[in-house]
Amino acid sequence: MTGIALHQIAERAINRPLMLHPDKARIILSALDGRLPGIATTSATPVREQPEATAFYGTRKRGDGRYALSPAANGVAVISIVGSLVNRGSWIGAASGLVSYEGIGAQLDDAASDREVKAIILDIDSPGGEALGMAGLAAKVRAINAQKPVVAVVNDMAASAAYGIASGAGRIVVSQTSLTGSIGVVLMHADRSDQLAAEGVAVTLIHAGAHKVDGHPFGPLSDAVRSDLQSEVLKHYGIFLDTVAAGRGGRLSREAAQATEARVYLGEEAIGFGLADEVGTFEQVAADLAASTAPAGGTTTKVRTTMSQDKNSPAAETTPAAPDAAALNAARAEGATAERARIKSILTSDAAKGREGQAQAIALETDMTAEQAAPVLNAAAPGAKPQTIVPIDERVGAEAGAGGGHTATPDKPKSSLVDRAKARFPSNVN
């Protein structure tokens, strides 16, 4: 890694608020320690190029001959978020080890406007990164999810800023080994005064403006500067919490996100705390989205089916079978049975006692399981009037229409319990 590259990393990592997994923060400090030009002379290790995460999924070539920014197959586009996150830059691939919010945003816009793309997967394996720019990208994810389904797959890490992006998706899917969370902010300051003194280097700062050199690395932080930096961190933390709450809705409130205290959860633990929705794999999500977005009557699509095919060899073709009405009816019946069981388990749970109104609202107006609903109900005072739960797509649409501001959504006329229950169980296909 060149000295210029090290300086670029240092500029982004030191004295700047980061939404980053703490282990990654320590790695960055270790990588920079003693390696900045002008401070030490140790040799640097080149960055290892990472393989492209979606190299074996779909193709960037569309039916009309153009090439898109993201690979797609069966109407499902995949945007890989692999590596550390930075605000600006043309990093779209994984070769640099960095990926930018700007690049991800360009891929999202491209997929959103692509008529061949019916759904989007965010394929995430990232420890997080810069705080600046994360909230804006998460808002874009929420807005696009209101137009096309966006599913975030934690494959196998979505920490800090990466989780902030994932929170804007309609669903978050984790594996048994996924690391999810780290909802927090860190700012690192390196005091190199002793190191420089040992090398006989004395630095003099000549400046105008009392705060011009706040946080410089040539001495310890003063109490006043430390307080200012802590205040900056807390402001970014508040933005982070609001971003997560806007994306997760009733599944993870601002208070619940703050209560995690930046913990990282393994696998399905994240589901119990409202950070994720289900356990699955990238392949399962891709197949489910392809099936759910396929036009009635079925279509023939070309899908790359093997990982060992030569680049110049034609991709294998698969022809999904046309949907069968009897199978659809059976699936609907099975889903209705499962939904009734879910509602019953919430309404008859111990946590629902004395909180029947809240339990009814959660059972009929969200997709929470009984396990996910229990901590929400336990946090509510018995006998309290249930809050109106605004569906996430309606809230996102209201925010997008107002330029992303937090505007109140007018209350809908309240439907009866019977009406809401009927809405949960659609009739069979004729």
Q: Which residues are catalytic?
A: 160
| Cα 60 to Cα 68: distance, rounded to the nearest angstrom | 5
Distances (CA, A) of 297 to 4, 71, 162, 359: 57, 25, 38, 40
CB 54, CB 96: distance < 8 Å: no
| Nearest partner of 218 among 206, 229, 228, judged by Cα | 206
| Cα 403 to Cα 400: distance, rounded to the nearest angstrom | 5
Residue in the block written with tokens 């296909």: 429
SS3 354: coil
What residues form DSSP beta bridges with 265? 180
The burial of 232, by beta-carbon neighbours within 10 Å (0-12 exposed, 13-18 middle, 19 or more buried), is given as: middle
Give Cα 369 to chain centroid, integer Å.
21
Geometric angle at alpha carbon 69, from 11 and 108, rounded to 5°: 75
Distances (CA, A) of 88 to 110, 120, 124, 313, 347: 18, 22, 19, 37, 48
Query: b/e per residue, 255-269, with b = 16+ CB within 10 A?
Result: ebbbebebebbebbb
SS3 18: strand
SS3 402: coil
